[in-house]
Structure 1
Amino acid sequence: MSQVLITGATGLVGGHLLRMLVQEPRINAIAAPTRRPLSDMPGVLNPHDPQLTDALAQVTDPVDIVFCCLGTTRREAGSKEAFVHADYTLVVDTALTGLRLGAKHMLVVSSMGANAHSPFFYNRVKGEMEEALKAQSWERLTIVRPSMLLGERSKHRLNESLLAPLFSLLPGNWKSIAARDVARAMLHEALSATQEGVNILSSAKLREIADNEA
């Protein structure tokens, strides 16, 4: 039986993952700190605060596994600084909370193209986030790098709506992927005896795992 911490549970991937965690018999405790309250769900501890770091500080029970599904866009965030706070600082805060609570395995949603040396701001921040987590020397760190995510968001993203038909036709890692499949693959990896150290899962690999789990 495992105890888990999840951030980003109000988002596209995180929402699917939280519902899967609630239904998973191998999970016996779920802490899901959020900025706004979740609907009541059985077995879910939901400290909430507009400052997610303050909500994270309210989690005190031990955990084994950490899931971080936080992610936004510069347009949604409103500025470069706000984007860095959401996609770098809060991810690192999630990881530090997990380490404080004894977790051995962290799984994080990054992005295809993440590279700390990228000339593109979005990819560079994602890459810097990955490097920060690697520097924490997790016993197991699983980084998932999906392509364009498909699913119903609470907030409409115009660019994704326009590009989704194109990405659905692309091959390999470029092909768009359902957020539900990303969540399914993450849960599988969390509960399986995969290799220790850093494990990076491409979008194509995520789709393969999800297909096998379906």
Structure 2
Amino acid sequence: MANVALIGGTGMVGSHILTSLIANPSVTRVDTISRRTPPAAGGTPPAKLTNFVSGDTATWPSQLSSLSPTPSIFISAFGTTRAAAGGFDNQYKIEHGLNVEMAKAAREAGTRVCVLVSSSGASKNSSMAYPRMKGEIEEDIKNLGFERTVILRPGLIAGTREESRPLEAGARFLANWAGKLHSGLKDGWAQDADVIGKAAVNAGLKALEGDVPAGSEKVWVLHGSDIIKYSKDGSS
């Protein structure tokens, strides 16, 4: 049985993570920390779900540290865009800073497993700003020394976003169209948001139990085909 803390639960993938956590009988408590109330929280029994809502993200780490019981799993699907942040420098400060600070607070509180939704191509050595930022978030979280760190690197995230991202819209349309023809035409380069959400929860629970692939005892990285596989592996 697991207690889980989640950030990013109002986003495209995070909302599906929250839905999966709520539905999973192996999860006894879910604490979300967000700027607004997650849409998936409606109608959920309060005994299982608690939402902390604050637009002041500086309060988030202390809120996480004060959770009782201590979450056994910390999941982050938190991210922002360059446009919403007002430029890449601010995006980096918000996305890198908050992800690492929250993971650090979880680690210091005694959380055993960290699950991070990252991105395909993430690399601290990338010449491109966005994948380099994602890679640096991964590295800094790995260096915190969780018992196990799970990193999901999905390709294009298929589905419907609340906010407008015109550059992604055409690719998402193509992915959705290809998936209707045959899943094999899409799964290698794009995964549905609900599939990623289920995989994040199932992989986190497996990591908590120590049920991870050989060679992934400390850090377990799931790419597209792994995400598809583990979305089907579990009860959520």
- TM-score, length-normalised on structure 2? 0.83
Deviation at 1:17, TM superposition (A): 0.8
Residue 155 of structure 2: aligned partner:
147
Change (3 A) 1:205 1:132: same
Q: Percent identity?
A: 27
Residue 185 of structure 1: aligned partner:
199
Q: Does 1:164 align with 2:172?
A: yes
SS at match of 1:136: coil
Q: Does 1:202 align with 2:207?
A: no
Determine if contact 1:31/1:44 at 8 Å carries over to the other structure: yes
Match of 1:98 among 95, 103, 106: 106
Deviation at 1:105, TM superposition (A): 0.5
SS at match of 2:172: helix
CA distance in structure 2 between the partners assigned to 1:155 and 1:163 by the alignment: 16
CA distance in structure 2 between the partners assigned to 1:174 and 1:128 by the alignment: 24
Moved over 3 A (4+): 38-41, 165-174, 211-214
Letter in 2 for 1:28: T
Match of 1:46 among 27, 41, 51: 51
Change (3 A) 1:137 1:173: farther
Letter in 1 for 2:104: L
Instruction: For 1:4-23, list aligned pairs within 5 A.
Output: 4-23=4-23
CA distance in structure 2 between the partners assigned to 1:44 and 1:106 by the alignment: 19
Determine if contact 2:3/2:30 at 8 Å carries over to the other structure: yes
Structure 1: 5+ residue stretches without partners? none
SS at match of 2:103: helix
SS at match of 1:32: strand
RMSD in angstroms over aligned alpha carbons?
A: 2.1
SS at match of 1:28: strand
Deviation at 1:171, TM superposition (A): 6.1
User: How many pairs are equivalent?
Assistant: 214
Residue 121 of structure 2: aligned partner:
113
Residue 79 of structure 1: aligned partner:
87
SS at match of 1:137: coil
Determine if contact 2:60/2:102 at 8 Å carries over to the other structure: no
Residue 131 of structure 1: aligned partner:
139
Letter in 2 for 1:37: T
SS at match of 2:75: strand
Structure 2: 5+ residue stretches without partners? 179-183
Change (3 A) 1:127 1:171: farther
Letter in 1 for 2:9: A
